[in-house]
Structure 1
Amino acid sequence: MFFISSFFLISSLSFSIVILFLLKSRSSSSKPHKNLPPSPPRLPLIGNMHQLGSSPHRALHAMAQNYGQLMLLHLGTVQVLVASSADVAREIMKTHDLIFSNRPKINISDKLTYGSKDIAFSQYGEYWRQARSIAVLHILTNKRVQSYRQVRKDETSLLIEKIQETHESIVNLSELLISLTNNVTCRVALGRTYDGKKFKNLLERFLELLGSFSVGSYIPFLTWVDRLSGLERRVDDIGKEFDDFVEGVIEEHINNKLVDIKGQEDIVDILLEIQRDNTMGFHLERDEIKAIIMDVFAGGTDTTFTNLEWAIGELLRHPQAMKKLQQEVREIGQGRSMITEDDLEKMSYLKAILKETIRLHPPLPLLVPHESTQDVKLLGYDIAAGTRVIINAWAIGRDSSTWTEPNEFQPERFLNNPIDYKGFHFELIPFGAGRRGCPAIQFAMVINELVLANLVYKFDLTVAEEKDLDMSETINGLTIHKKCPILVTTTPCYK
């Protein structure tokens, strides 16, 4: 009797398992077949992580040659869609902009930006709309950006004075440009400058960590690796150090309001006023103020300096372009002591040089990642909700189907060419586009234009040594920097 019962039980279980298997197979076969983008072979657990190397923008560009303008990678447990052409970027940031307007939650950026309460990394929703409206309506309006022109003039004059004081000896121009962009950002955001070397070091470490690779963000059950490597501790330490600094700045403003220029409010003043008067119709928390200030520093200093450094590097490598720019600037300057911001609109070749520089060397080559909020068809492929999206702006800027001789520095390609970097032409998107496009384009580019125009107006620049023509790159967090600093000798042109 026992054997009969056991046999019956085993038979019933086996029958049930077979039925369940058949039902599952039938259910799976009844589901519509997913048409996924091309995907390179992947390894267990890590997926395609090993293929990214030390220069992900270059590695992804090379992979796109084999797998196409839209490919699907697997980084640990995370599906990542990679766009490498203007057409795909247009589909993502224009046609389906709303669906792809979210940001993925990444462990490091989340910690450093007070739970992603800044503008760049906050998830799409009501808070992001409120934070962006503060930037667009109060911080980065055309009127507000123009109001800081005295700051830009002062710091550009100071740069020229420092170079003149060297009396034609070798000048580390990279160091001076970092100091200038730091000072402009500090005065505009905080009301005054701060200890240059100390602040520069803090900002460099912050930005480096912001773009660091976190194993736990891609393979959650290996989060302990970030702790073991010391990454979590370093993030906590730099987060506290930056928080202490910004907290001190806010308290300084509350207790003794600073005004850098007579009658001119800085960004901290504006944010505190919005908090105090509730002018936006919602309450702005202290941590939210700090997160927005961090955005200003990350976007206003590093990317601006990087663009200037690459532009000067390219001009030193291309003397004819340098000469042509100097002719334009000096014809308009007519021997006056400085180029003013009113002069800049007349300088078409200056603008072409900066466009060409940012095409070849976008400061954030992979932009800030997007994330899909729902299932969507993209160029005929099925993209699932929650898919992370990388837009390779570096690859798009070097796409041979768009650009003739894409790897060559040719500013003339932008003369009488409507393509611009403001997010309307997807062939050139160093600042992104759509809802999540950078709102600080004008603020950054006017500094670049003013400083570059005055440098070539006031000085003839010559590379100090042949090795300084090296244009190799290094990645610091999210941004690409020139690996070697620019060392030049300077010959004054106008007293």
Structure 2
Amino acid sequence: MDLDITFFLLISSLILSFYFIFTRNSNPSKPLKLPPGPPKLPIIGNVHQIAGALPHHAFRNLSQKYGPIMHMQLGQISAIIVSSPRLAKEVFKTNDLALASRPYSLVADIVLYGSSDVALGAYGDYWRQMKKMITVELLSAKKVRSFAGFREQETDQFVDYIRSSCGKPVILRDKVTEMINNIVCKSSFGGNCKQQDVLIEVVDELGKLVSGFYVADLFPEFGFLSVISGMRSKLMKIHKSLDKIFEEIFEERKIRRQRNGESEDDLLDVLFTIKESGGLQFPITDDNIKAVFVNMFTGGTDTSAMTIEWAMTEMMRNPNVMEKAQKEVREAFKGKNKITESDLHDLVYLKYIIKETLRLHPPLPLLLPRECREDIQIDGYDIPAKTKVIVNAFACAVDPEYWDDAESFKPERFDKSSVDFMGTNFEFVPFGSGRRMCPGINFGLISIESALAQMLFHFNWQLPSKSSPTNIDMTENDGATAVKKVPLVVTPTLYSS
């Protein structure tokens, strides 16, 4: 986590001190009943209590002392941290509309074309139009199924790579990420994305840049901090790179559409057709379409790849789970040379493994923050308008009141259980819930399930010599996404039935 605290204090402490002295609001006639929270320091508030730690773990540990709803001051940001399923329900259901917006983000303003995307855009009529368009036209179950050819092509190439590496240690992350990136690129732009390597590199750079708590984020009213810290210039550079790549792809596609008069079966063509057909309350521009694709690439690549790596890691740590999963896959497809997506519905235990992986390793353990559009109450506490509300999905997923042996990997817990991650069970919300729930669940899950099924069907897996299941490093990297800090290294051998 890059907090730049020393840098900030050296340059800005005097200015901030004067700000807080002269702009502090007068006491309201009726004092607010804010949630409890840890003691705060002047200027930085509670920043020091999460510095150097993984935020979702730090917040959970604090919640065990101060309660499942906490008020924390993160610089200038007044934040409410929710860490229990009972109160997550109040956020996602009871107060869903009042908490449907997002706080201002410099990243969204610069890189996402004035926050015109769906993930970070402010709630309103335009946002509702875009969310409906993405849910119905772009990422519907039918549309996701239409990309099966792209996914099967990429998983076949991935299997060929693993087959050629049999008997040698393999770092799965690199090839899995490449496979997922290829699927997203082809689904978005068809089979001809000339700038794919550069595009993925820039998106990866963006992910690293916005993966922590930065001074510019914590003190948004001081625009100069984003300048002197270099954040603004880095974001502008990324924006210009992405814009140039998208412009080239868009112009080439427009020429082909005019020349051939035919549509292509990818997301770009769907969006161009919607744009050209008109009839929208808010006509969309090329920049709006670019913002959608930035969401696709930032939300659809690393999250799926890290889930595959965590699932394989947990199976290597729990050989009994690996054995049971391989038995299910191999019995279901005995005599077949290839698994197709239409076969995957039979793999019940594999689905349990994916669920349990998402429970213990949610890709975004602190869900994207919401912002109060009006004064509300949660659990009897006052939450003023403009307050940032963050749900700790990780804390909800390991709450011992809802989960037996909560921090152990037990896929069997989902047998005869109706608990799912589709937004109605608030103890299990890796994709969020309510109006702001991730619309790309089906797109990501099918790639995860297909890749894992192929890996379990075709290969046996071992840890390198001198490694054992008990000493696999399970540390998470710093940042917003819970990526495994030390990549998993495994040795595949070809399975012969």
Partner of 2:327: 327
Structure 1 CA distance for aligned equivalents of residues 66 and 332 of structure 2:
49
SS in 2 for 1:338: coil
Query: 8 Å contact 1:107–1:214 — kept in the other structure?
Result: no
Partner of 1:473: 476
Matches within 5 A, 1:74-473: 74-192=73-191, 193-194=193-194, 197-220=197-220, 222-257=222-257, 264-465=264-465, 466=467, 469-473=472-476
Question: Shift in Å at residue 404 of structure 1?
Answer: 1.3
Structure 2 CA distance for aligned equivalents of residues 64 and 244 of structure 1:
45
Partner of 1:15: none
SS in 2 for 1:490: strand
Query: 8 Å contact 2:173–2:306 — kept in the other structure?
Result: no
SS in 1 for 2:79: strand
SS in 2 for 1:455: helix
Partner of 2:495: 493
Question: Shift in Å at residue 28 of structure 1?
Answer: 5.9
Structure 2 CA distance for aligned equivalents of residues 183 and 279 of structure 1:
33
- Deviation per CA, 1:437-470: give whole Å up to 9, x if none: 0011111111111110110100001122528821
Structure 2 CA distance for aligned equivalents of residues 464 and 172 of structure 1:
11
Structure 2 CA distance for aligned equivalents of residues 169 and 211 of structure 1:
33
Query: 8 Å contact 1:108–1:209 — kept in the other structure?
Result: no
Question: Shift in Å at residue 285 of structure 1?
Answer: 1.2
- Are 1:484 and 2:483 counterparts? no
Question: Shift in Å at residue 485 of structure 1?
Answer: 1.7
Partner of 1:11: none
| Alignment equivalent of 1:34, drawn from 32, 35, 45 | 32
Structure 1 CA distance for aligned equivalents of residues 218 and 489 of structure 2:
40
Partner of 2:22: none
- Shifted more, 345-354 versus 207-216: the winner is 207-216
- Deviation per CA, 1:341-386: give whole Å up to 9, x if none: 2222121110100000000000001011101111112111111111
TM-score (norm. length: structure 2)? 0.90
TM-score (norm. length: structure 1)? 0.90
The runs of 5 or more residues in structure 1 that have no matched partner are: 1-26
Structure 1 CA distance for aligned equivalents of residues 217 and 60 of structure 2:
23
SS in 2 for 1:479: coil
SS in 1 for 2:203: helix
After superposition, the Cα gap between the structure-2 partners of 1:194 and 1:406, relative to the gap in structure 1 and judged at 3 Å, is farther
Query: 8 Å contact 1:108–1:214 — kept in the other structure?
Result: no
SS in 2 for 1:450: helix
Query: 8 Å contact 2:365–2:392 — kept in the other structure?
Result: yes
- Deviation per CA, 1:181-207: give whole Å up to 9, x if none: 000000001112556654432221011
The runs of 5 or more residues in structure 2 that have no matched partner are: 1-25
Matches within 5 A, 1:38-57: 38-53=36-51, 54-57=53-56
After superposition, the Cα gap between the structure-2 partners of 1:28 and 1:47, relative to the gap in structure 1 and judged at 3 Å, is closer
Structure 1 CA distance for aligned equivalents of residues 273 and 46 of structure 2:
48
Query: 8 Å contact 2:108–2:121 — kept in the other structure?
Result: no
Query: 8 Å contact 1:217–1:223 — kept in the other structure?
Result: no
Structure 2 CA distance for aligned equivalents of residues 263 and 241 of structure 1:
27
Question: Shift in Å at residue 233 of structure 1?
Answer: 1.3
Structure 2: which amino acid aligns with 1:111?
I
Query: 8 Å contact 2:81–2:391 — kept in the other structure?
Result: yes
Compute the RMSD of aligned alpha carbons: 1.9
- Are 1:71 and 2:76 counterparts? no
Partner of 2:21: none
- Shifted more, 418-427 versus 221-230: the winner is 221-230
Question: Shift in Å at residue 229 of structure 1?
Answer: 2.2
Query: 8 Å contact 1:106–1:217 — kept in the other structure?
Result: yes
Query: Percent identical across equivalent pairs?
Result: 36
- Shifted more, 208-217 versus 331-340: the winner is 208-217
Structure 2 CA distance for aligned equivalents of residues 279 and 462 of structure 1:
56
- Shifted more, 278-287 versus 63-72: the winner is 278-287
- Deviation per CA, 1:82-129: give whole Å up to 9, x if none: 000101110011011100101000112321111111100000001101
Structure 1: which amino acid aligns with 2:430?
P
Structure 1 CA distance for aligned equivalents of residues 306 and 288 of structure 2:
27
Query: 8 Å contact 1:42–1:48 — kept in the other structure?
Result: yes
Query: 8 Å contact 1:108–1:210 — kept in the other structure?
Result: yes
Structure 1: which amino acid aligns with 2:490?
V
Question: Shift in Å at residue 216 of structure 1?
Answer: 3.1
Structure 2 CA distance for aligned equivalents of residues 315 and 217 of structure 1:
38
Query: 8 Å contact 2:257–2:263 — kept in the other structure?
Result: no
Partner of 2:4: none
SS in 2 for 1:382: strand
Question: Number of matched residues?
Answer: 464
Query: 8 Å contact 1:463–1:488 — kept in the other structure?
Result: yes
Query: 8 Å contact 1:57–1:365 — kept in the other structure?
Result: yes
Whichever of the two has the greater Rg, that structure is: 1
Structure 2: which amino acid aligns with 1:131?
M
Query: 8 Å contact 2:75–2:219 — kept in the other structure?
Result: yes
